[in-house]
Amino acid sequence: MNKNAIIVGASSGIGKEVAKLLLSDGWSIGVAARREELLQELKALAPERVEVLAIDVTQPDAGERLLTLIEKLGGMNLYFHASGIGKQNPELDADIELRTMETNAVGFTRMIGAAYRYFAERGEGHIAAITSIAGTKGLGPAPAYSATKAMQATYLQALEQQAHKRGLNIHFTDIRPGFVDTALLNDDYPYPMLMRPEAVARDILGSIHRQRHVRVIDFRYRILVFFWRLIPCWLWRRMKL
């Protein structure tokens, strides 16, 4: 069986680390991000097994460009979506909120939908995506971020149900990390319980191999999410985060 994976959002952070692990595991990969030059480091690791293409998920042609990358790679068995933005926005700056929605909601739907339709035509495949523990509660410091992450998780769940109804052998893995030490957290806020992207990537690859439906990373955040889901709404909206 071929092992071909597409990673969108592979230029840095978790996406880049997952791409490197897939290469070391013998996969051929297609990597995409807004800036193609940032992907050349991955290309240099295994030139014969890496295809590169610039894709901006906020652009209307991003789905078509994904199909182009799939064709260059010679097919796709795994689609991994690591593209996303997030920023604390307590002042509710409109530009930040709308950019977040454009990338994390519209762009996510565009790319996940394109991958799903590709796999639906073939009857099988695996879609994995990074959402976040932020999607499990409405977070006042980052309204658009937490809202789009909740949307992403719900969208994946809905597609999984639809695929089952249609008899499609498409697997879904919803990856929900806590705070990861990447360029995404570049606002100088002292985030607690920071995780290294390399460790998160290893957990993600294990979750993909085990075909987990939902994976909260790591155990500290699994405990945190369990307990904060128990907080009643009347108390949650009074909490100062």
- Work out the pLDDT band at 63, boundaries 50, 70, 90: very high
CATH code, domain with 65 = 3.40.50.720
Task: Answer yes or no: is 170 within a domain.
Answer: yes
Spatial contact of 14 and 203, defined as CB atoms under 8 Å apart: no
List the domain range (segments joined by +) for residue 87. Answer: 4-236
> Is the Cβ–Cβ distance between 201 and 24 less than 8 Å?
no
**Residue 241 in domain:** no
| Residue 217: inside a domain | yes
Mean pLDDT calculated for residue range 74-81: 98
CA dihedral defined by 180, 184, 190, 195, rounded to 10 degrees? 10
Cα–Cα distance measured from residue 102 to residue 108, given in angstroms and rounded to the nearest whole number:
9
Residue pLDDT, tens place only, 81-131:
999 998 889 999 999 999 999 999 999 999 999 999 999 999 999 999 999
- Asked whether residue 150 carries a pLDDT value surpassing 60, the answer given is yes
Give the pLDDT confidence score for residue 184 in this predicted structure: 62
Entry pTM? 0.94
User: What is the Cα–Cα distance from 64 to 41, expressed in whole angstroms?
Assistant: 25
Element (H, E) at 29: strand 28-33
**pLDDT single digits (tens) 4-47:** 999 999 999 999 999 999 999 999 999 999 988 889 999 999 99
Span 49-55, mean pLDDT? 97
Tell me how crowded residue 122 is: count the other CB atoms within 10 A of its CB. 13
Q: Which residues fall within 8 angstroms of residue 102, CB to CB, at 6 or more apart?
A: 58
Does 3 have pLDDT greater than 80?
A: yes
Count of domains for the chain: 1
> What is the model's pLDDT at position 40?
92
Would residue 73 count as lying in a domain? yes
CA distance 74 to 68: 10
Backbone angles phi, psi at 74, to 5 degrees: 90, 25
- 185 falls in which pLDDT band (50, 70, 90)? low
Q: In this structure, which amino acid lies at residue 18?
A: V
The CA distance from 174 to 119, in Å, is 17
Helix locations, 123-236, DSSP H: 143-166, 197-209, 219-228, 233-236
pLDDT in the model for residue 194:
84
% of residues, the chain, pLDDT over 90? 85
Residue whose entry in the numeric block shows the structure tokens 């597409």: 6
Answer whether residue 166 shows pLDDT above 80: yes
For residue 187, what pLDDT is reported?
Answer: 58
Q: Per residue in 219-228, is it b (16+ CB within 10 Å) or e — as a string? A: eebeebeeee
If you search the block for the tokens 């068995």, which residue do you land on?
77
On whether residue 152 sits in a domain, the answer given is yes
On whether the CB atoms of residues 184 and 85 are closer than 8 A, the answer is yes
